[in-house]
Amino acid sequence: MLTEMQRRKLIKLFSMYDTNNTGWVSRDDFDLLFKKMSSLRNWSVRAPKCLVLQDKLARMWKSLSKQADLSRNKQVSLDEWIAYKETVLSNEQAYADEVQSLTELLFDVFDKNEDGYINEDEWGQLLSVYNISPIYAAEVFPALTKAEEGHLTKEELIKLVYDFYYSDEPDNPANTMFGPY
Ligand SMILES: [Ca+2]
Ligand SMILES: [Ca+2]
C-alpha cells in the first residue's frame, strides 16, 4: 500500500517521464529522452554507449507498456503508472531489475566529465533532461551530498533513488532530489 507521500513522489516521477507534456507516457517520451541524453553527451548514434542507452530506454518502454498499459492504447496514464509502480515497489527483485539497473546507467550518462561522480552542474543537466528547471540543482543538491565532498558516487545515488521511492520520512533529503514534489 502506497503512502500519500509515496504517491506524490510517483506523480512527480510521471511528470518527469512525460517528457513531451501530453499528460500520458508513451513511446514518444522515451524517444525524446533518448534524444536529449545522447545530444547532451554528443554521442554519435553508433557509439557503443549510445546504443546501450537506446536499447535500455526502448526496453523500458516495452516493459512498461506491456505491464502498465492495461487499457492497451499505447499510452500509460497516471493511474496505470501508479498501479504499476506499486507492484514494482512491493517486489524487491522487480525493483532491483528495473530501477537500480536504470540508475546505474543514468549515472554514467550524466557523469559528463567521467570522473566517477555526479556534481551539482551534472545534476542540473539531469533535471533539465527530465523536464525540471536546472535552477533547482543549487537548492536541492547540497543536501544530497556529504558537505565536504559536494558530489555523489554511484552507490550514493542508488541509495537516494531508493529513498525517493520508499521513504515516508518528511525530512528525508531524497524526497526533493528532483525539486518540489
Ligand atoms: Ca507524453
Ligand atoms: Ca562527474
Give the closest ligand to the alpha carbon of residue 32.
1
CA of 119 to the centre of ligand 2 (A): 6
- Closest-approaching ligand to the CA atom of 153: 2
* Nearest CA-CA partner of 116 in 83, 168, 156, 76: 156
Ranges of beta strands (E only) in the chain are none
pTM of the model: 0.94
Q: How far apart are CA 48 and CA 38, in angstroms?
A: 12
pLDDT at 179: 96
Say what the pLDDT of residue 149 is.
81
Which of 3, 9, 10, 16 has the alpha carbon at shortest distance from 175?
9
Ligand 1 centroid from CA 137, angstroms: 24
- Taking alpha carbons only, the member of 123, 129, 113 closest to residue 37 is 129
DSSP assignment of 18-45: -TT-SSSB-HHHHHHHHHHHHHHTT--T
Low-confidence residues in the chain, pLDDT < 70: none
Instruction: Tell me the per-residue pLDDT of 57-93, one tens digit each, with 9 for 90 and over.
Output: 999 999 999 999 999 999 999 999 999 999 999 999 9
- All structural domains of the chain, each given as residue ranges with its CATH number in brackets, are 4-169 (1.10.238.10)
Residue 169 CA to ligand 1 centre (angstroms): 30
Nearest ligand, CA of residue 150?
A: 2
Q: Which three cell numbers stand for residue 19?
A: 517528457
Cα of 85 vs centre of ligand 2, distance in Å, is 29
